[in-house]
A and B are shown apart, each in its own frame.
Chain A
Amino acid sequence: MKFGPTPWQTVGPFFGPALVAPGLDVLADSHTRGQRIFIEGQVLDGDRSPVPDALIEIWQANAVGCYDHPEDPRQDKALDPAFHGFGRAGTDKSGCFRFATIKPGPVPGVDGGLQAPHINVSLFARGLLRRLTTRIYFPYEELNASDPVLKLLPEPRRASLIVKQVAKGRFRFDILLQGDDETVFLEI
């Protein structure tokens, strides 16, 4: 057999018992440093029908912009023992999901600058043969204007990656899989 990467295949509809468990959508506890936030949203298909069998994973830096990972070179000074940065949620029957986390700090980019605070998102579902990846950004952030990813996006589509504030500490991030105004997905 010729050596090469193992191909992606769809997660299918029956991943729940293996991948989803209560509490995986809660990333922060009472010891975690940073501003507590909720991010909630709905996944919709090309007919704007809810997607009740999607899996969403998030990966984010802590409140000072440090990732809990050995390849983040700033481990020693910035790690928060009460925050690991990974969350997972399956959508419910109406396509909705919700995460309880903290707002991440800005993370270094490749060019010596800082990236705006963001959360990395993976989306899997029946009917998606591969993962979709995107990012969640926050409104009213000064760094948004210079963020290297946001800068790549045409103005009308950029808004799809910026959460809407619905109340203090509560943000909305709807994901439209298909259509003219679909969410921007990123190739990483």
Chain B
Amino acid sequence: MASLVGYQPEDEASHPPNAYPDYVSTRKRAPVHPPIRIAHTLSEITGPRLVRGASVLESLDLTRGSGGEALGERVIISGRVLDGNGRPIPNILLEIWQANAAGRYAHEEDRHDAPLDPHFSGAGCLLSDAQGRYRFVTIRPGAYPWANHYNAWRPSHIHFSVFGPGFASRLITQMYFPGDPLLALDPIFNSVSAPEARDRLIAAFDVETTIPERALGYRFDIVLRGRNATPMETSR
């Protein structure tokens, strides 16, 4: 017999429901049946670690794309990838994407009337280091309008896609900036009902990470789902 360590149930108070009508796109996409809970097996405990072809850097600078410097306010985002007990997780792939300083994505479906920046793709990936740390340099993304409701604007945000150690610990989220007045009006941010959980989506300004004469620094730790304390038995 080999022992496998399963994952704790998702902490529902920390996550949004899929059915959240204030975010209008959920109305025709959120399932109506509740999901069926299954026991964890090798299928859920194992999982992808890397995406084939992804260049796995431990640092990343999105401001120096295609032969020139991106326009906008340079920022440094750094933090740690932690498990549910606060232990750092090394070698975790983080994929990030964001709008440019004008609030425009380098994506063919983005119709916002704001300029593209030829020196900013807004997409990259990196790995957490042996202490679970990650760090990248980018520009602060602009707010952008969307059609959800009258005068709707997304607060500045950076999208993060994270592979945890297993299929069960996958996470896709968005990082926001402190003090953004649009946060209070944003249904995606506010789909997380608990204020203390929403706070975990907001990076903290960090003078230690800030580089004089160069860029403001922010800290954003990513906490993945916790694992059980005791293994379960399974057959070999």
Contact = CB atoms under 8 A, between A and B. Distances in A.
B198 to A, nearest CB: 7
B146 to A, nearest CB: 9
A187 to B, nearest CB: 4
A170 interface: no
A12 to B, nearest CB: 6
A124 to B, nearest CB: 6
Nearest to B200: A6
B interface secondary structure, majority: loop
Interface string B27-46: 11111111111111111111
Given A4-B14, A120-B43, A128-B29, A17 B235 contact: no
Interface residues of B, number: 90
Interface residue tally on A, bucketed by range:
35 or more
B35 A13 contact: no
B199 interface: yes
A130 B197 contact: no
B46 A67 contact: yes
A148 interface: yes
A interface secondary structure, majority: loop
Contacts of B27: 46, 127
B200 A14 contact: no
Interface of B: 2, 4-5, 7, 10-11, 14-18, 20, 23, 25-49, 51-53, 84, 86, 95-97, 99, 105-107, 109-110, 121-125, 159, 161, 165-168, 170-174, 188-189, 191-192, 196-201, 204, 221-226, 232-236
